[in-house]
Copies of this chain bind each other. A is one copy, B any other.
Amino acid sequence: MTDFSAWSQGCQTRIENVLAGHLPPADIAPQRLHEAMRYAALGGGKRVRPLLVFAAGEVTGAGVERLQHVAAAVELIHVYSLVHDDMPAMDDDALRRGKPTVHVQFDEATALLVGDALQSLAFEILSGQPLAVDAGTQLRMAQLLAQAAGSRGMAGGQAIDLASVGKPLDLAELEFMHIHKTGALIRASVLLGAQCGTLNEATEAALDHYAKCIGLAFQVVDDVLDAEAPTATLGKTAGKDAAANKPTYVSLLGAARARELALELRADAHKSLTGLGAPAERLRELADFVVERTF
């Protein structure tokens, strides 16, 4: 078994290539939109969600030929949300993945359409070729992704986030927000990867619990990094949350307790994988990666 670093780099190269293949070429009309879609989606990011898709697929014996398309669909939903989230009407951010954000590099109207078209492309990919044992399973996968992206998932989480600025949220409310904003798509990544293979109910329940733990851990660590890491390391503007007076795990718990909570969530994530044996090793390593990352 290759080490985690080599494995994740392999996945990242693969997802980059698959995305490059699915995104329309920049020389096909409308050129500027296609150029901006490629600018937004290619050449950056940790690709945490694709890594989760690949790792979950190992548990259920799914082939990378299927997983790579599911990973691309999930990543495109994530990228579209970043593009819209960075716009002036939302977080108004100028830097993403170390580059100017799409509305800065292009313009606001293009950023709006880039996000819209990336979401469509995600569903085009997820319905465009056989990715599961049968078409019925694949339809349920599309439904899961749509739910995770929509108003009771990611988009809903962003609405709650917007409404929370300057408000004294308690820990339960903060968790409710993040379960939607970040957690829903991370959960979908794990479950969709697993659904590309042969998945039984017990495994699905274990993976679901794993996904919920690392979804929250991911956000807790994000808050710690936003408070402590420099912008150059993050590739996005640091200290944003405090500047916006947004409630975070750090503002509610303090940095020390937030770091402790991340470790507890990792332990819980690891525990949920106990029954899955060796094929779950990448998911274990990913839980470590999510908690130990510095960017």
Contact = CB atoms under 8 A, between A and B. Distances in A.
Interface of A: 24, 28-30, 32-34, 37, 80-81, 84, 87, 89-90, 107-113, 115-117, 119-121, 123-124, 126-128, 134-136, 138-140, 142-143, 145-147, 149-153, 155-156, 158-160, 162-163, 176
Nearest to A28: B152
B140 A127 contact: yes
A80 B113 CA distance: 12
Contact of A120 (B30, B128, B151, B162): B151
A9 B225 CA distance: 56
Given A33-B155, A117-B156, A120-B150, 19 more contacts: A30-B151, A30-B156, A32-B163, A84-B116, A89-B112, A112-B112, A116-B149, A116-B155, A117-B150, A119-B119, A120-B151, A120-B153, A121-B146, A123-B143, A127-B127, A127-B139, A135-B136, A138-B139, A139-B139
Given A134-B135, A155-B113, A123 B123 contact: yes
30 contacts: A29-B160, A30-B156, A30-B160, A30-B163, A32-B163, A33-B151, A33-B155, A34-B151, A87-B112, A89-B107, A89-B108, A89-B111, A90-B109, A113-B151, A113-B155, A113-B158, A116-B119, A117-B155, A120-B150, A120-B151, A120-B155, A121-B150, A121-B151, A123-B142, A127-B127, A127-B139, A127-B143, A135-B135, A139-B142, A142-B142
Contact of A123 (B84, B113, B146): B146
User: What 10 A-B pairs are tightest by C-beta distance, nearest first?
Assistant: A120-B150, A89-B108, A124-B146, A135-B135, A117-B151, A33-B159, A127-B142, A30-B159, A117-B155, A135-B136
Nearest to A125: B146
Nearest to A77: B120
Contacts of A160: 29-30
A107 B160 CA distance: 14
Contacts of A112: 84, 87, 89-90, 112
